[in-house]
Amino acid sequence: MNNKKLEWRHLRGLHELYADGRTTLKIFDNAFIRSVQKDLRLIGYKTGSERIIVAKAGYKAYYEQYFQASFETYRQFIDENQLDWDGRQSFDEYDLQTFQFIVANKKDIETRLTTIRHFSSVFFKEKGSKYLEMHPGVTRIVYKLLEINAFPDQDPKNHQWRFVVDHLNPEVIVLCENLANLKRPLVAQRNRLELWYVGGNNIGIVEQISREKLFVPVYYSCDWDLAGLQIYTRLRNILARKGCSLYLLEPVDKSAMMDTRSPNHSSEWRQDEPYSGLDTTQFTSKQLSLIKELIEKRKWIEEESQDLIKALAYLDIPKI
């Protein structure tokens, strides 16, 4: 369901269409749902009414394939944590996945809380450091899940979190600059992946990966911008000291390029330095070609816009 910009009322409405065959929730303001109406023709307004939306032939099978499992997970989470079921809730699917991640990692999170803006920049990165301050309803849910009344306003500089999606017998380890993939642990478990969060000040956490685990390939998934690629070179040096290679995952969908001045993005290319000062010996010629293109166009590619499983499947082990 990811990247469809679905709010809770949209998810609720799609479920009502599945369970009851109809909904009165206003869900056609979402572009993805409009495509289900106009392109797939699986839902539409009831004849003679623009207030009631009804399911058509084929919708149940479509919902079961693409939505049911995730929705049941969300519903169980909402019930277990006594959140409001009201379809008017303002949080969206991204927020829901973040709430789930917070609960799953609560013990580690609550011992390292700093400022509300730092928390927002890490856990709600795609929405920015001011997101929680601007959305008090979401903030109240975060407080409830963490069982706190406020953030302690401590200096975040030296705080590190150990966020890992563990696997008893992983085929690969993926170091992730952002939390997006760790918020979907079922995908990692199904594909025998172990995921480590290494963004921000968390690079040093890699020292905690035991040598015994490093017999499997280790990859790095990141934003393709200056900050993300700088982290890659630092991680590669750390792992080299452990006798381990690190492989950079490349974007499989280059159409996802965005302007470096896009909202909530602060990493700009250094136009006055070749390859923005990156150590070119750490990259393949193919990777350098993409980096050069991104610099020239003043673009970047967000980690979350890429399919992790496809990126792993398409990767050729580089010879640098």
pLDDT of residue 271: 93
The mean pLDDT value for 231-241 works out to: 93
pLDDT band at 36 (very low <50, low <70, confident <90, very high): very high
Predicted confidence at residue 319, as pLDDT, reads: 46
11-32 average pLDDT score: 95
What pLDDT shows up at residue 320?
A: 44
Which tokens belong to 209?
A: 């990966």
The pair of three-digit structure tokens given for residue 263, joined into one six-digit string: 């909202």
Span 232-258, mean pLDDT? Answer: 92
pLDDT digits (tens, 9 = 90+) for 169-222: 899 999 999 998 999 888 898 899 999 999 876 788 888 777 777 888 999 999
Rounded mean pLDDT, 117-136: 90
CA distance linking residue 148 with residue 156, whole number of Å? 18
pLDDT of 316 above 70: no
Task: Say what percent of the chain tops pLDDT 70.
Answer: 93
Q: Inform me whether the pLDDT recorded for 88 exceeds 60.
A: no
Judge whether 127 and 264 are in contact, CB under 8 Å: yes
Contacts (Cβ under 8 Å, ≥6 apart) of 290:
224, 250, 251, 254
Predicted local distance difference test score (pLDDT) of residue 202: 78
Burial of 267 (0-12, 13-18, 19+ CB in 10 A): middle
pLDDT score recorded for residue 167: 87
